[in-house]
Amino acid sequence: MKSQEALARIVEGVKKFQAEVYPAEREMFERLRGRQQPMAMFITCADSRVVPNLFTQTGPGDFFVERNPGNLVPPYSDFVGGVSSGVEYGMLVLKVPLVIICGHTDCGVMKGLLHADQVNGLPAMQEWMRHASDVRHRIMRDHSNAPDEEKLRLITEYNVLAQIENLRSHPSVDARVLREEVEIRGWVYDIGDGSVWSADPETGRFSKVGAPG
């Protein structure tokens, strides 16, 4: 798609939003005008196919969102500005009661961790991905013989668990976890079938969200 075509389609969307969607929800938008009180902080990948408000059926004002390639949270000691400042704001100003770190299937960053040649010529990405290097080592050590598909599923899950640990290294998070003011959950969203998988906080095992029993 060329840029003009893309822009035209986006502008059409803006028109439709203003003509149909906004008027139907005017009260809600006006309520949000001067303040936000999100129910959760949602940390996920930049991937265009991951639309948190869609697969959780939530809306404006519900999530304070942090997105980056691979849904990574650099440890506090590395002090990478964007994510750290978002975490700080979410914890200390918005005081969200819940943080969800959500990975997804078919993630380009997870594939890059498994196959370094896929990120050749991407120095910024290579540098960024070192925040998940422990996860790659774990896969190479424990699952080197697993089929590729299985490796990708495991690295996606392990990465979510590792980023929870990294998140805990942020003082604003750890203090609130210890006071039981915030819970942290790890999820994986399946793009192809729409399922959502959640890690058991004790065991790290993933099971389907909303599954009966």
3-class DSSP assignment, residue 42: strand
Q: Return the number of the residue (73 or 107) whose C-beta is nearest Zn ion.
A: 107
- Contacts for 98 with CB less than 8 Å, ≥ 6 apart: 39, 40, 41, 182, 183, 184, 185
Report the alpha-carbon distance of residue 66 to residue 81 in Å, rounded: 12
Please give the C-alpha separations between residue 191 and each of 51, 54, 198, in angstroms, as whole numbers: 10, 12, 15
Q: Return the number of the residue (129 or 184) whose C-beta is nearest Zn ion.
A: 129
45 part of the interface to Zn ion, by CB under 5 A: yes
Binds Zn ion by CB under 5 A, chosen from 41, 107, 154, 184: 107
83 part of the interface to Zn ion, by CB under 5 A: no
Give the binding range for Zn ion (CB under 5 A) out of 47-55, 114-122, 143-151, 180-188.
Answer: 47-55
Residue 193 tokens, joined: 């079938």
Write out the H or E segment, with its range, that includes residue 173.
helix 171-178
Smallest separation (angstroms) from Zn ion to the CB of 108: 6
Smallest separation (angstroms) from Zn ion to the CB of 10: 22
Smallest separation (angstroms) from Zn ion to the CB of 128: 12
47 part of the interface to Zn ion, by CB under 5 A: yes
Smallest separation (angstroms) from Zn ion to the CB of 170: 22
